Amino acid sequence: DTGVSQNPRHKITKRGQNVTFRCDPISEHNRLYWYRQTLGQGPEFLTYFQNEAQLEKSRLLSDRFSAERPKGSFSTLEIQRTEQGDSAMYLCASSLEDIEQFFGPGTRLTVL
Amino acid sequence: AQSVTQLGSHVSVSEGALVLLRCNYSSSVPPYLFWYVQYPNQGLQLLLKYTTGATLVKGINGFEAEFKKSETSFHLTKPSAHMSDAAEYFCAVSEPGGADGLTFGKGTHLIIQP
């Protein structure tokens, strides 16, 4: 399978704990995006990388959130001191240049 | 700032009937426009996109959409609905260059009645 993969698919954590998600993009894609999707809503843009450089961050990305893309390959999204409001589906997408984004299956986070 | 409005959180049609899902956008520059479909517990799959050129675009699974600049609309249609079309549909917009990612509407849940 050469699509975008995300791990884990599901994560249940207690409030206050830290969590980290991983996204592996399609191998030749230089752009990588993170989105958050809450129930009944469309995905909301969080951040975007071109190769290893993080070029844009949404105001939704509080200081508890951090994303990295070392060496321009896979990316990680970490949430520190999780809150119940962080419960959502976290989606990763990759693209070659700026047109079509290919989405992964997402990581569903539940904060108890 | 860009925004997307999808009229109707739920749309119900009979199998074989016309599907029409509405999308209006707001953008300060000519945007790129997209329709994505999401099946339960899955990621989003691109149905079709408009960047430049012909305003009527055809996508996968028999769907098509028409970009109407004067109406700031990008409605999605399919002549004959199939049961397998039941899913969540999202309209999205981006500025050329895509630096801010995609801005999505809230989605429309398409229900197909047998």
Please state the three-class secondary structure of B36-101 as a single string. Answer: EEECCCCCEEEEEEECCCCCEEECHHHCEEEEEHHHCEEEEEECCCCHHHCEEEEEEEECCCCCCC
Contact indicator for A110, A83 with CB cutoff of 8 Å:
no
> Residue A33: which of B46, B51, B101 has the nearest Cβ?
B101
Cα-based torsion angle of the residue sequence B79, B80, B86, B90 in order, rounded to the nearest 10 degrees: 0
| pLDDT for residue A19 | 98
What letter would DSSP give residue A81?
A: S
Inform me whether the C-beta atom of residue A105 falls under 8 Å from chain B C-beta atoms. yes
Tell me what the mean pLDDT of segment B22-27 comes to. Answer: 94
Cβ–Cβ gap A105/B49 under 8 Å = no
List all residues of chain B from 75 to 104 with a beta carbon under 8 Å from chain A: 90, 92, 94, 96-104
What letter would DSSP give residue A111?
A: E
Of B76, B88, B72, B94, nearest to B22 by C-alpha is B76
Distant-in-sequence, close-in-space partners of B35: CB < 8 Å, separation ≥ 6: B21, B23, B46, B47, B48, B49, B59, B63, B65, B74, B76, B89, B90, B91, B92
pLDDT for residue B56 is more than 80: yes
Contact indicator for B48, B60 with CB cutoff of 8 Å:
yes
- Tokens standing for B66? 């028409």
> Residue A105: which of B42, B99, B102 has the nearest Cβ?
B42
How far is Cα B18 from Cα A108, in angstroms, rounded to an integer? 34
pLDDT for residue B81 is more than 60: yes
Q: Which residue has the higher pLDDT, A57 or A3?
A: A3
What confidence tier does B7 reach under pLDDT thresholds 50, 70, 90? very high
Which residue carries 């050469």 as its tokens? A2
**Considering all CA atoms of chain B, what is the largest pairwise distance in Å, rounded to the nearest integer?**
42
pLDDT in tens, A63-85: 999 999 998 899 999 999 999 99
| pLDDT for residue A83 | 96
